[in-house]
């Protein structure tokens, strides 16, 4: 099967002659080829979006919101079909795939409130007979470059608020799992979105560079690794665009001596191994405070980890996690595990030798647990993006806090404790964008904003919530005075409140 693009309201074949393989991660087999767009194909999508955007912007916000309202209904109708397509290409379990879609759906629900979120401000009689008011107006054509690990959620985080604001949108999803983004675009058309307002262009670096350089695109959002986030941010800003980029993570979970150890262990297993660790909010570092806390935590973690069920999504709803997305990802994770052993970390559970009968060529890595990891080790410094949990023992609370604060990434962090004072101090002091208190994966709901600090984010506005409406609009302020019949001649002094 060949997967092309979605331009001007319909699927179109790729014209560049270049393709990438789309794998079934559970079997290692190629199940489709996806077209990789040329710069000319990106330009075609931008031209169509530019033509469609003015009429869409002129549509009143309430009518735009009704399209999203119908889109939400269609998402619920097609949830199982979308989840199956997502699992088939990504490898995540069906419940996790439905969660991927649901979290995007919730942003669409939030964007139904666009009429309220787009309201400006007004001051009457700001000066003698002068009124001042502000308007939020769309930027024009925006673009999103989204990653493989959430092929439904993150595209919806990007295009739903952009379209609700009156923009047209160019989506460049991951070429590793391209089917669901096109299916979402088809549902938007079914919901009543005019053709051309949402374009989906599959591709690699050539398509990314074409988006970053195109003068017809005013704003770009990106989610992926930090090196590429820095590249996209620098190149997009140099081209005069508004850019927001979200990069890598190394999320710590501090476990205080007074924490409920069973609760903490359950949270670590779910947050560390869910989706095979391929989440930017996965907990990859456990930081127990004190050796007795560490020993008690490890004692509970090992049997839980050894009972995890790893397999393809077709094996049923009780599978805990599936394969990694590609063979290269699998080999990279195995290599990092080996590096951890070589650098002196204590390997308590080794997932490198995991095999599954009938799926020997699948991209599976078993759950892996390290203890006595040091901050200078590669497995601590780098984002592994696999089912690997590292335990770094801290002598006290201040040392645990410093570990999270000193790491170059600042996406998410959590603390497990019964002490409200410690939790409050931690939340106030830690230099990380999303904080969980007895919550292992503190992903904010759709009406708050999502974003990290330090090298996890570039740009001054976050994803979804109110920040999304700020990012996808420009503020225009109008100062107005209507003739009153009084003539006083020209004024050469800036207006004041006199």
HEC secondary structure over 346-369:
EEEECCCCCCCCCCCCCCCCCCEE
Asked if domains 2-247+456-478 and 251-437 share a fold, the reply is no
- Angle subtended at Cα 338 by Cα 333 and Cα 342, rounded to the nearest 5 degrees: 145
Distance CA 142, CA 450 (A): 19
Residues ≥6 apart with Cβ < 8 Å to 411: 248, 249, 250, 251, 280, 281, 432, 433, 434, 452, 453, 456, 457
* Confidence at residue 129, expressed as pLDDT on a 0 to 100 scale: 87
Residue spans of beta strands (DSSP E) within 360-408 = 368-371, 388-391
pLDDT tens for residues 40-83?
999 999 999 999 999 999 999 999 999 999 999 999 999 999 99
CB 396 within 8 A of CB 64: no
Q: What is the domain partition of the chain in residue ranges?
A: 2-247+456-478, 251-437
Q: Which residue has the tokens 């609009």?
A: 473
Q: How far is CA 307 from each of CA 129, 193, 319, rounded to the nearest angstrom? A: 74, 47, 11
Helix ranges (DSSP H) in 112-225: 114-117, 153-164, 179-190, 205-213
Fold classified for 251-437: Aldehyde Dehydrogenase; Chain A, domain 2 (3.40.309)
pLDDT confidence bin for 247, thresholds 50/70/90: very high
Three-state DSSP state, 55: helix
* Confidence at residue 161, expressed as pLDDT on a 0 to 100 scale: 98
CB 285 within 8 A of CB 252: yes
> Which class is 2-247+456-478 in CATH?
alpha beta
Average pLDDT over residues 380-389: 97
Residue 108 is classified by DSSP as H
Q: How far is CA 482 from the centre of its chain?
A: 48
pLDDT confidence bin for 128, thresholds 50/70/90: confident
pLDDT tens for residues 143-180?
999 999 999 999 999 999 999 999 999 999 999 999 99
* Confidence at residue 488, expressed as pLDDT on a 0 to 100 scale: 65
Mode of pairing for the β-strands spanning 473-481 and 130-138: antiparallel
Residue spans of beta strands (DSSP E) within 372-462 = 388-391, 409-410, 412-416, 434-437, 453-454, 457-458
pLDDT tens for residues 328-370?
999 999 999 999 999 999 999 999 999 999 999 999 999 999 9
For residue 241, which of 145, 111, 354 has the smallest C-alpha distance? 145
Distance CA 172, CA 391 (A): 37
* Confidence at residue 484, expressed as pLDDT on a 0 to 100 scale: 74
* Confidence at residue 422, expressed as pLDDT on a 0 to 100 scale: 97
pLDDT tens for residues 458-495?
998 999 999 999 999 999 999 999 887 666 667 788 87
* Confidence at residue 498, expressed as pLDDT on a 0 to 100 scale: 59
For residue 103, which of 83, 128, 126, 125 has the smallest C-alpha distance? 83
Q: Which helix (H) or strand (E) holds 134?
A: strand 130-138
Please determine, for residue 284, whether its predicted confidence score (pLDDT) is greater than 80. yes
* Confidence at residue 450, expressed as pLDDT on a 0 to 100 scale: 94
pLDDT tens for residues 180-239?
999 999 999 999 999 999 999 999 999 999 999 999 999 999 999 999 999 999 999 999
The encoded tokens of residue 234 equal 């620098």
pLDDT tens for residues 397-440?
999 999 999 999 999 999 999 999 999 999 999 999 999 999 99
* Confidence at residue 490, expressed as pLDDT on a 0 to 100 scale: 73
The encoded tokens of residue 305 equal 């980890």
Just list the catalytic residues.
280
Please determine, for residue 497, whether its predicted confidence score (pLDDT) is greater than 70. no
* Confidence at residue 486, expressed as pLDDT on a 0 to 100 scale: 60
């Amino acid at each position: 099967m060949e997967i092309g693009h979605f331009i001007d309201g319909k699927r179109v074949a790729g014209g560049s002659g270049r393709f990438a393989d789309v794998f079934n991660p559970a079997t290692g087999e190629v199940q489709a080829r996806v077209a990789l767009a040329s710069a000319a194909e990106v330009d075609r999508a931008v031209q169509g979006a530019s033509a469609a955007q003015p009429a869409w912007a002129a549509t009143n916000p309430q009518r735009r919101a009704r399209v999203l309202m119908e889109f939400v209904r269609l998402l619920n109708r097609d949830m199982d079909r979308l989840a199956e397509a997502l699992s088939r290409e990504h490898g995540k379990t069906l419940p996790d795939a439905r969660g991927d879609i649901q979290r995007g759906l919730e942003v669409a629900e939030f964007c139904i409130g666009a009429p309220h979120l787009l309201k400006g401000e007004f001051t009457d009689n700001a000066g003698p007979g002068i009124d001042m008011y502000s308007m939020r107006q769309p930027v024009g054509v925006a673009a999103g470059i989204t990653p493989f690990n959430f092929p439904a959620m993150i595209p919806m985080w990007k295009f739903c608020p952009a379209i609700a604001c009156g923009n047209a949108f160019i989506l460049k999803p991951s070429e590793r799992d391209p089917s669901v983004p096109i299916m979402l675009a088809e549902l938007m058309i079914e919901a009543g979105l005019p053709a051309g307002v949402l374009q989906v262009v599959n591709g690699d670096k050539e398509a990314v560079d074409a988006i970053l350089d195109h003068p017809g695109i005013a704003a770009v959002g990106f989610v992926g690794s930090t090196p590429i986030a820095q590249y996209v941010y620098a190149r997009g800003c140099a081209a005069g665009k508004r850019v927001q980029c979200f990069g890598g993570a190394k999320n710590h979970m501090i476990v205080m001596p007074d924490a409920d150890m069973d609760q903490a262990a359950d949270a670590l297993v779910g947050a560390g191994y869910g989706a095979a660790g391929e989440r930017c909010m996965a907990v990859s570092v456990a930081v127990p405070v004190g050796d007795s806390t560490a020993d008690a935590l490890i004692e509970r973690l090992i049997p839980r980890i050894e009972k995890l069920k790893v397999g393809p999504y077709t094996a049923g709803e009780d599978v805990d996690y599936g394969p990694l997305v590609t063979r290269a990802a699998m080999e990279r994770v195995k290599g990092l595990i080996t590096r951890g052993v070589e650098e002196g970390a204590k390997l308590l559970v080794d997932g490198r030798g995991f095999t599954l009968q009938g799926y020997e060529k699948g991209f599976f890595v078993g759950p892996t647990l390290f203890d006595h990891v040091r901050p200078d080790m590669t497995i601590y410094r780098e984002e592994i993006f696999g089912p690997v949990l590292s335990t770094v023992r801290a002598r006290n609370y201040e040392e645990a806090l410093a570990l999270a604060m000193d790491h170059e990434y600042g996406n998410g962090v959590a603390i497990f404790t019964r002490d409200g004072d410690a939790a409050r101090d931690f939340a106030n002091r830690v230099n990380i964008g999303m904080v969980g208190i007895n919550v292992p994966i503190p992903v904010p709901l759709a009406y708050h904003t999502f974003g990290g600090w330090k090298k996890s984010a570039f740009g001054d506005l976050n994803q979804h919530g109110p920040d999304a409406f700020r990012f996808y609009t420009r503020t225009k302020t109008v100062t107005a005075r209507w003739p009153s019949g009084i003539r006083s001649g020209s004024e050469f002094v800036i207006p004041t409140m006199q």
